[in-house]
A and B are shown apart, each in its own frame.
Chain A
Amino acid sequence: MLAIALKDLKIILGDRKALVLSFLLPIFLVGLFAFVYGSMGAPREEHPVNLLIADQDQTDLSAVIVTRLDSLKSIRLTSICLEEARQKVTRGDYPAVLVLHKGLADSISANRPAGLEMQYDPAQELEMGLLQQAIMLPLFEIIGRPALREMVLEEVRGDYPRLDPKLIKQIENNIDKSFRSDNISPRLQNRNAIIMTPLIPVERTSWALVQAVAGTAVMMLLFSVAGLGAGLLVERESGTLKRLLITPLHPMQILYGKLLSTLVISVLQLAVVFIFAWLVFGLDLTLNPSALMLVALATAFACAGFGLFLAAVSTSRKQVEMLSTLIILIMSAIGGSMIPLPIMPVIMQKLAAISVNYWSIQGFFDIFWRELPLWDILPRIFILFGMGFLLIAVARLFFKRNLAGLV
């Protein structure tokens, strides 16, 4: 098994041209995508945006706000406690949580700045834009009216302390009648502005850089393991597989030997991409080295499993080419390699979970962007390893079944 791996590595490392190409290509693409994504403000299509809401006020007014926002078509609202909400946003599951602070109703009737706060993930810039746009008017309809009323009444009371309560009531009604949400004075707007609090410090690693490096690295890795996976078919075409089967080796050892050599090359390739990103773009590799190594290894493992799967289910190199191109492009497209996940339609974002790309890219975001501790990244790592094992199991099955046809 080890001998097979060593032999493979020798052949792979011996082919200078292919080697240079397989390392230059990802570097070129990383550079390109980093540039493209860095200067992007692409339009997006319509779909409901996820928003968490943490109602700490628990008054009639806050209930009205929740109901109103929930009725909006452009928003999918989830009520949740603040603690949990912050976690979900930090992890990148949701773009933001709208916090209705305790005393919201009071502060409005007391004409103090309203206790509205949006805690958000700056990575989901586009989501945020949409969210703000969607909730602005409904919120002011609810909060702006009483706020305006209080503001006017306060002045009226100050000027005419002895005014008839009946008159005040009438003024109130007039205000309500003439209030139009699309005609809010800047003064009122400022007073009731939502406090915006990014949950992730903005000075962290550039989001675009992480996207470019991780997205491209995984996609390129998939392509390169497809080539290596074809190695099994090369062995078959060159007759060496037949000879391998004549040796005392167990047939499965041939498969595992292939897996090992693919794994080594994959890890090397990831290392090259990340070192390049560090040298050229200043990606900080020291943030969480153990998590970085584990995510990289898990990614390499899942990709190597994919390569093995391709080799085992295909019966010719042409097939590998076709199949790999197809699967890789689909996985990369939905998994966030080609298009950053947040700007994709919701259905696609859900589908993303079936791709290797998704888990790997999110793992790298956890490390470089969300700066999560290893413990919180472990689930993604496990899923990547799980995908690898699943693919290998399927590969085994096919290999066993095709064995007689291989000679």
Chain B
Amino acid sequence: MIEIRNLSKHFGDVKALKNINLSVQQGEFFGLLGPNGAGKTTTVNILSTLLKPDDGSVTLNGLDLLSDPRGAKRLLGVVPQELALYEELSAADNLHFWGKLYGMQGNSLKARIRHLLEFMGLNDRGNDRLTTFSGGMKRRVNLAVALLHDPVILFLDEPTVGIDVQSRHRIYEILGKLHQQDKTIVYTTHYLEEIERLCERVAIIDQGEIKAEGTLDSLRQLIQGDSEVLVMLDDISLKTAPADPLPAGVRLTDEGLLGSGDDVNDLVQKLVTICSARGWNIRDIELKSASLETVFLQLTGKELRD
């Protein structure tokens, strides 16, 4: 479906992509995981014909992207990292505008807009200006625009940055449905939970290089011996939890406190101490096998988040 061969791109002195090779199958939910500046957006920009690579080739559905960018544009829908919408217009007007640019019109466009607003759970807000929308709602409109012309391939560049947990989950649901519709999806993120939740296969990218590629299980098998403990917290504690620094190897997730280390006993003790010191209520404790985070740490030598 998507074949990327020896893709390279530089900006001045910065080598944003170094000889990237990837292939994504029809209907696959593919994750591209990497920290800031890894080259995710550059990859998506090339795949969506916005940037010309220095070297390499890309084929979409057998169609050569570089020689037939216009043909490729019809196949793909892109959800840019930044919101690319007219905030002064309503959701429906935005969809209408973008639909027109894809040559859609009349009743079929109207029907499509109605369908997408419904699909996004926004049908009662369709005629409101985007300035009155929450970040999560805007993200859903941003996603809807990419779906207007019903593309077979979807590129999503960090479509959930900067929105709350609940909105994020709504988007996950929508993406799940799209996956069921057999769309081929390339999803970039630096959230591990998203990869673990959504993707079937993943490539880890750092400094313009693919460090590893495969199914989640195959990546987890790259490392042994590490264990993870998740201390789930109740909602009130989660909400009040400040973002002040936690000890190394411990981080806050949507569900609670996640720690990784060699010794499970030590780990549990450490996490419980943190919680009681801060007055957080523990709901549950879960032992996990080695996570992608650990894989990532070992492959790139750095944490995913700054």
Interface hits, A7-30 → B, CB 8 Å = 7, 10-11, 14-15
Interface hits, A21-75 → B, CB 8 Å = none
A3 interface residue (CB < 8 Å to B): yes
Ordered nearest first, which 9 A-B pairs have the shortest CB separation? A239-B82, A239-B84, A243-B84, A3-B100, A247-B101, A407-B50, A11-B88, A7-B97, A240-B84
Report if A243-B98 is in contact (Cβ < 8 Å); known contacts: A404-B51, A407-B45. yes
Cβ-defined partner of A240 (8 Å) among B70, B85, B103:
B85
Q: Which residues of A contact B51 (CB under 8 A)?
A: 404, 407
B102 interface residue (CB < 8 Å to A): yes
A242 and B146 CA atoms in complex are apart in Å by 13
Q: Which residues of A contact B89 (CB under 8 A)?
A: 7, 10-11, 14
A248 and B103 CA atoms in complex are apart in Å by 9
Closest to A8 in B: B86
Closest to A403 in B: B50
* Interface residues as binary, A176-208 with B (CB distance below 8 Å gives 1, 0 otherwise): 000000000000000000000000000000000
B52 interface residue (CB < 8 Å to A): yes
A249 interface residue (CB < 8 Å to B): yes
Closest to B155 in A: A246
Q: Which residues of A contact B103 (CB under 8 A)?
A: 248
Report if A247-B84 is in contact (Cβ < 8 Å); known contacts: A7-B89, A407-B50, A407-B51. no
Cβ-defined partner of B70 (8 Å) among A11, A244, A248, A404:
A248
Closest to A10 in B: B89
A246 lies within 8 A of B50 (CB): yes
**Residue with the greatest number of chain B CB neighbours at <10 A, chosen from A242, A243, A248, A249:** A243
Q: Which residues of B contact A248 (CB under 8 A)?
A: 70, 73-74, 101-103
A239 lies within 8 A of B80 (CB): yes
A3 lies within 8 A of B88 (CB): no
Could you list some 29 contacts between A and B, CB below 8 A?
A3-B101, A7-B93, A7-B97, A10-B88, A10-B89, A10-B93, A238-B82, A238-B84, A238-B86, A238-B87, A239-B80, A239-B82, A239-B84, A240-B84, A242-B50, A242-B80, A242-B82, A243-B84, A243-B98, A243-B145, A244-B101, A246-B76, A247-B73, A248-B73, A248-B74, A248-B102, A248-B103, A404-B52, A407-B50
Cβ-defined partner of B101 (8 Å) among A10, A238, A249:
A249
A243 and B157 CA atoms in complex are apart in Å by 13
A275 interface residue (CB < 8 Å to B): no
Q: Which residues of B contact A240 (CB under 8 A)?
A: 84-86
Cβ-defined partner of A11 (8 Å) among B76, B80, B86, B145:
B86
Query: Which of under 10, 10 to 19, 20 to 34, or 35 or more describes the interface residues of A?
Result: 20 to 34
A245 lies within 8 A of B50 (CB): yes
Q: Which residues of A contact B145 (CB under 8 A)?
A: 243
Closest to A245 in B: B50
Q: Which residues of B contact A10 (CB under 8 A)?
A: 88-89, 93
* Interface residues as binary, B53-89 with A (CB distance below 8 Å gives 1, 0 otherwise): 0000000000000000010011010101011111111
Q: Which residues of B contact A11 (CB under 8 A)?
A: 86, 88-89
A239 lies within 8 A of B45 (CB): no
Q: Which residues of B contact A3 (CB under 8 A)?
A: 97, 100-101
Q: Which residues of B contact A239 (CB under 8 A)?
A: 80, 82-84
Interface hits, B76-131 → A, CB 8 Å = 76, 78, 80, 82-89, 93, 97-98, 100-103
Closest to A1 in B: B101
Q: Which residues of A contact B52 (CB under 8 A)?
A: 404
A223 and B100 CA atoms in complex are apart in Å by 31
Cβ of B51 to closest chain A Cβ, rounded Å: 6
**Residue with the greatest number of chain A CB neighbours at <10 A, chosen from B49, B50, B51:** B50
Q: Which residues of B contact A245 (CB under 8 A)?
A: 50
Cβ of A348 to closest chain B Cβ, rounded Å: 42
Q: Which residues of A contact B98 (CB under 8 A)?
A: 243, 247
Report if A246-B49 is in contact (Cβ < 8 Å); known contacts: A3-B97, A239-B80. yes
Closest to A407 in B: B50
A120 and B97 CA atoms in complex are apart in Å by 58
A247 lies within 8 A of B102 (CB): yes
Interface hits, A223-282 → B, CB 8 Å = 238-240, 242-249
